[in-house]
Each structure stands twice: as C-alpha cells, then as structure tokens.
Structure 1
Amino acid sequence: MRYLLIVISCFFIGCADLASRTHHQPAGVLAAKPLYRDPVFDGAADPSIIFNAAEKKWWMFYTNRRANVPGLTNVTWVHGTPIGVAESVDGVTWNYRGTVNFPDNIPGAANVETATYWAPAVLEHEGIYHMYLTIVPGIFDNWNHPRTIVHLTSRDLIAWEYQSTLPLVNNKVIDASVLRLADGRWRLWYNNELAGKKTFYADSNDLYHWQDQGSANLPNERGEAPLVFFWQGHYWLINDLLGNNGLGVYKSTDALHWQRQPSDLLAIAGTGVDDQNAGHHPEVIVSGGRAFLYYFVHPGVNAETVYDQTPALDVKRSSIQVVELQFHNGWLVADRNAPSYVKLLPGSHRQ
C-alpha cells in the first residue's frame, strides 16, 4: 500500500512538474546562440527579415562586412560590403542563400564590384517588395564620403529594380526604417550623420514619392539605425546607441512625440555563445501578439576576458542573435540570457 502511494505521488508530482514547465515555456522553437553567422565573410550585421510568400520561408537580408579578410586598412572592411541573404522556415534555423544581385544603374553604385551596400530595410505592400538601401559610392578607408538611401522594388525578392534616390536632408544619411501609420501614410526614419547622428524622418503616400520632414525630435538622442514598429498600443523606436551602449528605446502614441525609456536594452553583455557584447542595429518581427528582437553582436571585442588568445580578425566578426521582447510596466524588457522560443507566423511584420 505504501509503495502504491509513493507511485501515485510521484505520478502527480511528475504531472505537476510537466504542467508547470509547459505553462511557463512559450510556444515556438528554441533559438541557438549564436543564431546565425555568415559563412563567407563572418560579418553578418544589420538584419532585415521578411516572409517570402512564394517560397514560404523567412528571408533575412543583412550587411555582410568583410570581417575575415586580412590586410584591409582602417575601415575598408566595412566598405565594399554585399548584402547577404539567409533563409529559414521558422525564424530560428538559418541557411546561407547567397548575396543580392543589384542592378548596375543605381547612382553611386554603377560598379557593383566596388560599391558599398549597407542596412537594407525590406517590406511588402500589395504584392510588391520594397527595399530602402544605403549606398556608399566605393570602398574607402575613412568615413568622409557621401551616403544616400535608394529605393528598389521586386516581385520575388531576387530581381530588383532601381526606382529613385530619396530626396532627404543631405547626402550623409544611412539606416532607413519604414512603417505604415494608422492613417495609411508611410513614414521613413533615418540617421542624419551631419546632424550629430540624430534621427530624421520623411513621409510618403505611396512608397515612391517622399517629402523630408526634418528632425524626429527624439529626447536625449544620439545614435543610429532607428527601427520603428507598432506593438502593445504604442509606436516604438529602438536605435543603436553609439559605442557599445546597447539599444535606446522610445515610445509614442502618434509616431511624432516620443518618450525615452529610462533603461536601455542589451547594454550589458550576455552569457550565451557570441553574445558577450552590446546589441546593435535591431530588427523586430511582431507575430501572434509577441515581438521578437533580432540584433547583431561583435563578440570578439571583449573576447580577451574569455579566451587566452584572440585572433586579430576576431574583433571584427559579428553574429546575429534573437531575444523575445516583454512588455512590463509600460516599457520594453529583453532578457538575453533567458531561453528564447521563437514562433513566427507567415505574413508577420513590424505593424
């Protein structure tokens, strides 16, 4: 009888433990750390993720810095960069697909062999894919050269057509982020380097014709890579703070007037593999009421504290990571050391 009671007790304890774990574990696939490393240059950065409806896969477009190429002086390794493409059926397991074959009529990038492509922002509207891409007209060993944002379109995410160079505030602009507002207009946020790395914006009714609106007037702001999405009844803007200081967060009810979150995201190094540094250049996919933040890390920058010997090129390489955002007391929280279970529903995006 005592044995029977022990067996019954163990059964119910086991069921309770399973129920507890099932209750607390979010739906989805457990993401590995790192999530993705580029197999060619090992410099994956600036991810932009979109669902390819024809292939029923997620595609990630990213700046592919030439991190493992020896002999590149100063900042030439972050110039001459192609746009890499990886694909995934679940947003977790990513396989390298290749690079984007851009047309040769893009102003400033006529020589595709020596052009610099940065920070793609990709979206879909009415069966057309749109990319807003930063162009630098060559390979340089310093930052003192023009940068523009161009608009390209595609029906399959493979063949792209140049549409225009956006008429923004000057010719030192980078890092576009585009979102459709509640009233149907489109808004593009970007980094104005000549204004001290501040965020500016432009508006459009059709994604093709843009009118620059000037400063976004973010409080206490100096950073780059502004990323805007709508979640939990607010517009959110996350930007990459300069240096290794993580991501700044702002929220708004109208996408015009912004409030700064008291704490930053991903400023403290994580404990997972290749997560030992601040997070950079965000992407967010809102899916099924949940929000998943993709970001990149330079894990080798602090590698001396982990390894006895660090190859010189290791400080340049970068890895893509993901963490689920949580909404707590009106603000965003991201626990990069907790297991991240990702579930992306087909057709999900940032709004």
Structure 2
Amino acid sequence: MKSNRSAALAVIGFILVFSPALAQKKGHKAPVSKAATAAAKPAPKPLFRDPAFDGAADPVIVWNKQAGKWWMFYTKRRATDTTATGVTWVHGTRIGIAESSDGGTTWQYRDTANIGYRPHPGYTHWAPDIVEDKGTYHMFLTYVPGTFTDWNHPRVIVQLSSVNLQNWRYVQTLPLITDKVIDASVFRLPNGTWRLWYNNERNHKSIYYADSPDLQRWTDHGQALNERGEGPKVFRWHNQYWMIIDKWQGLAVYHSTDLQHWQPQPERLLEAPGQGPDDQAIGGHPDVVVSGNRAFLFYFTHPGRSKANPAPDNSIAAKRSVIQVVELGFEDGKLTCDRDKPTFVQLLKPR
C-alpha cells in the first residue's frame, strides 16, 4: 500500500515538473504568467502616440495602486492643430493618461487628467511629476495662465493631490524663487523629507531646488546646478544618485553621493540618432523607472526633426512627438543606453 502511494506521488511530481517541457517539445505552449509575457516581447517603436493631437511629450510613469496598472502622464501638445499660430500649439494643453497592463511593454490611451486648477481662459498644463505618500498622490504641475503665441509669459509650479490619479484637487502654488519656473522633479531624501528640483527660466534656465519636511511646507534654497537645461529627473541606482537633464542636444547626466554636489558624466544619452521608427531624433525630457535591479528611461522625440531628414519648420511633421523607452546600462561608473537594442520592459509592482 505504502509503495503504491509513493509510486503515485512520484508520477504526479514528474508530471508537475516535466509537463511544461514535454508540452513544448510536442509543439504546445506551456502557460506563462502575465509578468513573463511582458518581458517576452520587446517594446514597440514608438512606444506611445497621443491619439488626439499626436504630440505626446514629457512622460512620467506611476504605479496606480487602485487599478493595479502602470499609468503614464504626459503633456498633450497640439501638434496636428492646423489653427495654432506661433507656439500656441504647445500652450492650451492638458495632461493625458495612458495605461499598461503588461508591465510597461504596451500602452493604451485612457483619458485626460481631471485637474481642478483652471483659473485662466486657455489655461496650459505642462510636464507633471507625481509621487505617492501615505495613500495620497501628489502632482507637481507646470501651469501657464493662458494660450500664448510666444514664450514671454510667467509660469508657476502648482501642487495637486488625488486618491485615484484621475481627479486632482488644487493644494497650493509653490513659493519658488521666481515667477517663471517649469519642470518639477520630486524625490524623497534618505531622512524622509522631500526635495524638488526645477528649471529657473529667469536664470539662464539653470536647475534650482526646494525642500519640504512634509510635502506641504516648501523652502527654496536656490541653485542646485549651474547648467542650462530642462526637465531634470533625479533617481537612485547603483548606490548613487543621478540627475538627467534635457540639453536639447541629448540628455546630460550627473551623479552625486549626497544629492547636493553633482559631477557631470562626459557622455550624453540619446544624442546620436536611432534607427527605429520615429526614433531618429534626439531624446528629450525623460522619466526613469527603477524596477528591481533594472532601470528604464522613458523619453520623447520629434521624429520630424531628425538631422538626416528634417521636416519643414512649423509643419505638422516637425511638431509631432512620440514616447519611446530604452533600458539604461551601467558600465565603468557611467550610465549608458542603446536605443537600437530591443527593450524588454518589465516594470514590477512596487513593494
């Protein structure tokens, strides 16, 4: 009796262990998890296009706890609006949302964010950054008070809050050093307080910063980096801190051990054109998601602005922009990336 039971258990164990391999040998696919599927195929190029205006830019990627999906927030530039004059096509914009159910490999358009801060006609929303703390999401959004034909107008960074990432309530306008600031990047410091980096357009577009003990009270501390650039992104990877900024000639990289003193990396990222569809121009204004021991750089390009085949200035082809993704590498203490190498994205659920 005992020997028969042992034999039966052995057969069951053999089936459980070897049946997937046998099924594959016979030409049948063994079942795989959703996470494995996400990593089994490379991300498409382009990764995402805005279906309304074909002007997706300035991405930020956030885990939606309630939906159990990754959400992408981005600036909805009005690239295909033929009535727009001057630079009005990058004003009067809202924030779009796309979502991914497969760990960031593919993205589908969902909606525009319902942002409860629109005090001026033709209001403009740009370049959000989002952090989560104690069940509440906090958005730091560039706000421009109208739709303008030039760049000579004030802009501020406003803070909003949400419990579902869809509906956003105005909290405050941040007390920063000047009235012409853009592109917030927020990071939690090792001591539990928060730091926000931004672009000060009145000081040669250099990078400034402000600190908060609680995401409510903010104190501006002045210049963080005496470099001209936009879209700072700060993150931690390989036991040090990194800041990437958009230099309009690729992405400049800086590293730090204390979040105060920043050392430049000689090589820029995404300066050389890629070969893939819509990826043959420089990369701009990125987000970085560190997931496990891997890091993924989400960026946008203007496909019609490639050096090899530029579209006419102010044409729809020159205005349109798309989101792309590439995996970061780390070699000899430097960040690297190969935009022509297939990118197998696998964003894990945050712990």
Query: Is residue 150 of structure 2 the alignment partner of residue 142 of structure 1?
Result: yes
1:306: Cα distance to partner?
A: 8.2
**What SS is found at the alignment partner of 2:316?**
helix
Q: TM-score, normalised by structure 1?
A: 0.86
CA shift at 1:329, angstroms? 0.2
Any residues of structure 2 matched to 1:68-87 within 5 Å, and which?
68-87=80-99
CA-CA distance at 1:100 after TM superposition: 1.1
Provide the residue aligned with 2:107 in structure 1: 94
Counterpart position of 2:9: none
CA RMSD of aligned residues (A): 1.9
Say whether the 8 Å CA contact 2:138–2:161 is kept in structure 1: yes
Establish whether residue 336 from structure 1 lines up as the match of residue 339 from structure 2.
yes
- The answer on whether the counterparts of 2:304 and 2:310 sit within 8 Å (CA) in structure 1 is no
Once the 2 structures are TM-superposed, how far is the Cα of residue 302 of structure 1 from its aligned partner? Answer: 2.4
Cα displacement string for residues 217-276 of structure 1 (whole angstroms, at most 9, x for unaligned residues): 34xx2101100000101110000003xx01000000000000000100000111000001
CA distance in 2, matches of 1:181, 1:147: 26
* Residues 311/143 of structure 1: CA separation in 2 closer, same or farther (3 Å cut): closer
The one-letter code matched in structure 2 to 1:336 is R
Q: 1:263 to 1:211 in 2, by over 3 A?
A: same
Say whether 1:216 aligns with 2:234: no
**TM-score relative to the length of structure 2:** 0.86
Amino acid aligned to 2:119? A
Query: Identity over the aligned pairs, expressed in percent?
Result: 55
| Residue 59 of structure 1, aligned match among 49, 71, 77 | 71
Aligned to 2:243: 237
Q: Which residue in the other structure is 1:207 paired with? A: 215
After the TM superposition, which residues 247-266 of structure 1 pair with which residues of structure 2 at under 5 Å, given as runs? Answer: 247-266=251-270
* 2:34 aligned residue: none
| Aligned counterpart in structure 1 of residue 318 of structure 2, from 315, 318, 343 | 315
The corresponding residue for 1:302 is 306
**CA distance in 2 between partners of 1:306 and 1:185 (Å):** 45
Structure 2 letter corresponding to 1:117: H
User: Equivalences for 1:125-204 in 2 at 5 Å?
Assistant: 125-204=133-212
Asked whether the equivalents of residues 168 and 212 of structure 1 are also in contact (C-alpha less than 8 Å), the reply is: yes
Aligned length: 314
Match of 2:27 in 1: none
User: Of the two, which has the highest radius of gyration?
Assistant: 2
Aligned counterparts of 1:120 and 1:27: Cα–Cα separation in 2? 28
1:282 aligns with 2:286: yes
**1:214–1:28 CA distance, 2 compared to 1 (3 A):** farther
Spell out, residue by residue over 1:135-164, the C-alpha distance to the aligned partner (whole angstroms, 9 max, x if none).
000000000101000000000111211110
Cα gap change, 1:170/1:310 in structure 2, threshold over 3 Å: closer, same or farther?
Answer: closer
Cα 1:28–1:184 shift into 2, 3 Å? farther
Q: Which runs of 4+ in 1 moved over 2 A?
A: 26-29, 302-307, 309-312
Q: Secondary structure at the match of 1:77?
A: helix
Secondary structure, aligned partner of 1:315:
helix
Letter in 2 for 1:146: P
The one-letter amino acid paired with 2:230 is: E
Distance apart, 1:73 and its partner CA: 1.1
